[in-house]
Structure 1
Amino acid sequence: MKIAIMGAGAVGCYYGAMLARAGHALTLITRPQHVEAIKERGLVFETKAFTETVPVTATTQPSGVADAEIILFCVKSGDTASAGNDIASHLATDASILSLQNGVDNAERLQEVLGRPVIPTAVYVACEMSGPGHVRHHGRGELVIGPSPSSAMIVETFGQAGIGTEISDNVISALWTKLIVNCAYNALSAIPQLPYGRMTAVEGVGASMTDIVAECLAVAKRKHILVDESILDTVLGLASGMPDQFSSTAHDLARGKMTEIDHLNGYVARTGAQLGIATPANRLLTVVVKLMEERSRS
């Protein structure tokens, strides 16, 4: 099967590597430094169990999605509209498009740009780009996708590649669950540049996370989004399972890149303001990260 990854950073390269290892024809649309490295020696795929080089096609051109039967859309949330416009004219009529992005409204926004269905997808994977064309997997890798005419085929295809995939009629709940986890961890890891284990060991961090989660739940409830009642326990227990993990926001700030904070804590703060719900913890984290982004541009 021909599969394309639009915006192949860490998440896109991980799933691309898994699918390529299963024999599918993969095209990664990614940054020039990754394209050059992949063309020279292939995509380096590092896991706890093995390290190998996976042959894939890589390009910087959005036309790389042409003729793909499945497209994983993995760009940063702030680039959803522009990247969607870039690929729109190259899409096959029957292509299945999945939004594997942070935040809760990217599939909806991409669908508006493309004028065709996009499958919302909740992603649970810890990975990073440790160098040009080199993806390192730390743990997990399962997906939750929304229902569509092609969802059963996607589950079978991905399952054969070792990617556990579940179809959910309530994928928005899964997306909000991930949003809440990200709101609790991303900025707090990014600001001091600390991994989760050291970060949560600092006095007051657990209480701050509790405040962040409470604000997120208040907004979700007003929007009639059902979130598992154990979400706070999930948040507080996450660090013990991946103590050395840094958030994607931490990686972005360390590299002087723009973050997705507007689509994480910023989304909760904006939505709370629209609904008349106070979200001071999420608002403050948003402002601090944006101040750090501004400093990196000076």
Structure 2
Amino acid sequence: MKVAVMGAGAVGCYYGGMLARAGHDVVLIGRAQHVDAIRAHGLRLETQSFDERVRVAASTDAHAAAGAQLVLFCVKSTDTESAAQQLQPHLAPDALIVSLQNGVDNAERLRTQVAQEVAAAVVYVAAGMAGPGHVKHNGRGELVIEPSATSDAVARALIDASVPTEISDNVRGALWAKLILNCAYNALSALAHLPYGELVQRDGVTDVMRDVVAECVAVAQADQVVIPGDVDAAVRRIAATMATQYSSTAQDLARGRRSEIDHLNGYVVRRGAARGVPTPVNRVLHTLVKLVESREGDAVA
């Protein structure tokens, strides 16, 4: 299968690297520093079970996606429309675009920009870029994908590449379940500069997380979203299964980049306002992260 990864950060490099390692024709489209390192030395894929250099194509230009049967769309939620516009002229008519992004509305936003089939997916992986062209996998790695004309074949390819994959009719609910996890952990990990395992040991943190979750669940119910599984147990499990992981928001702030907080706690605040559901704890966390972003932006300027 020819695969293009649009947005070759930690998530894109992990899944693209796993597919390339399994023999698929993969191109990673990302930032110049990573592309240069991957072209020179291959992608270093450091996981809990192996540490290898994977030979894979890399480019800084969206035209590299030409002819791809599968496009893993892994850009930040803030860049969904602009990245889709760059990609659109190069897409094969029968390409499947799978959104591997945080937030719950990226697939809908993608469909406004491209004519090809788009499938939403929920990503459960702890990974980070440890250096140019070097992705470090810290835990998990499963995907949940919504049904499409080719999702069965894509799921088989991913499973064969050692990526546990499930096709679900309730991806919207699964996306909300993931959103709740992000809302519970991301801002707090970023503000405290702590990984999940240490974060939950600090006084008052689990109480704040419980309040965040309660607000998110209330908004989801008002939006008639059916959330699968035990949300509270899932929140507790994250600290156990991803103890050393810093949130993507923490990683963004550490690099002086704009985070996805508007599409996480900020999204819950907006949906709560639309539905008349109070979200004061999510509002505070969203505001605090935005303040840190603006402070760091001023420092760079």
TM-score bucket (shorter structure): over 0.9
Instruction: Give 1:164 shift.
Output: 1.2
Deviation at 1:230, TM superposition (A): 1.7
Residue 264 of structure 2 corresponds to residue 264 of structure 1: yes
1:42 aligns with 2:42: yes
* Residues 2 and 69 in structure 1, CA contact (< 8 A), matched pair in contact too: yes
Given that residues 93 and 116 in structure 2 are in contact (C-alpha distance below 8 angstroms), is that contact kept between their aligned partners in structure 1? no
Shift of residue 163 of structure 1? Answer: 1.1
Q: 4+ residue runs of structure 1 moved beyond 3 angstroms?
A: none
Q: How does 1:101-116 map to 2 (within 5 A)?
A: 101-116=101-116
Is the 2:143–2:164 contact (alpha carbons within 8 Å) kept by the matching residues of 1? yes
- Report what 1:136 is aligned to: 136
Q: What is the rounded CA distance, in whole Å, between the counterparts of 2:138 and 2:113 in structure 1?
A: 33
Partner in structure 2 of residue 169 of structure 1: 169
User: What do residues 63-99 of structure 1 show as CA deviations (whole Å, max 9, x unaligned)?
Assistant: 1110001000000000000000000010001111100
What's the secondary structure of 2:293's corresponding residue?
helix
Structure 1 position 165, deviation (Å): 1.0
Alpha-carbon displacement from aligned partner over 1:230-255 (angstroms, at most 9, x marks no partner)? 20122133212222111010000001
> How far apart, CA to CA, are the structure 2 residues paired with 1:114 and 1:297?
32
Give the superposed CA RMSD: 0.9
CA contact (8 A) 2:107 2:118 kept: yes
Q: Residue 228 of structure 1: CA displacement?
A: 3.4
Amino acid at match of 1:182: N
Distance 1:194 1:159, change over 3 A: same
**1:128 partner SS:** strand
Partner Cα separation in structure 2 for residue 108 and residue 12 of structure 1: 20
How much has 1:229 moved relative to structure 2? 5.7
- Pairing 1:106-255 to 2, within 5 Å after superposition: 106-228=106-228, 230-255=230-255
The 8 Å contact of residues 206 and 236 in structure 1, kept in 2 or not, is answered as no
Residue 197 of structure 2 aligns to a residue whose secondary structure is helix
Provide the residue aligned with 1:292 in structure 2. 292
Per the TM alignment, residue 44 of structure 1 is displaced from its structure 2 partner at its CA by 0.5
| Deviations 1:205-260, CA, capped at 9 Å, x for gaps | 11101100000000000111011362012213321222211101000000100000
1:117 is displaced (CA, Å) by 2.5
Q: Which runs of 5+ in 1 are unaligned?
A: none
Q: State whether structure 2 residue 83 is matched by structure 1 residue 75.
A: no
Percentage of pairs with the same residue: 55
Cα separation, 2, equivalents of 1:242 and 1:165: 19
- Which residue type is aligned with residue 292 of structure 2? M
Whether the aligned pair in 2 keeps the contact of 1:10 and 1:129 (CA below 8 Å) is yes
Equivalent pairs, count: 298
8 Å contact kept, 2:140–2:241:
no
User: Structure 1, residues 99-124: CA drift from partner, whole Å, max 9, x if none?
Assistant: 00000000000011113331000001
Paired position in structure 1 for 2:30: 30
Preserved contact between residue 42 and residue 54 of structure 1 (Cα < 8 Å): yes
CA distance in 1, matches of 2:155, 2:276: 40
In structure 1, how many angstroms separate the alpha carbons of the residues matched to 2:78 and 2:14?
Answer: 21
Task: Give me the whole-angstrom Cα distance separating, in 1, the residues matched to 2:77 and 2:256.
Answer: 17
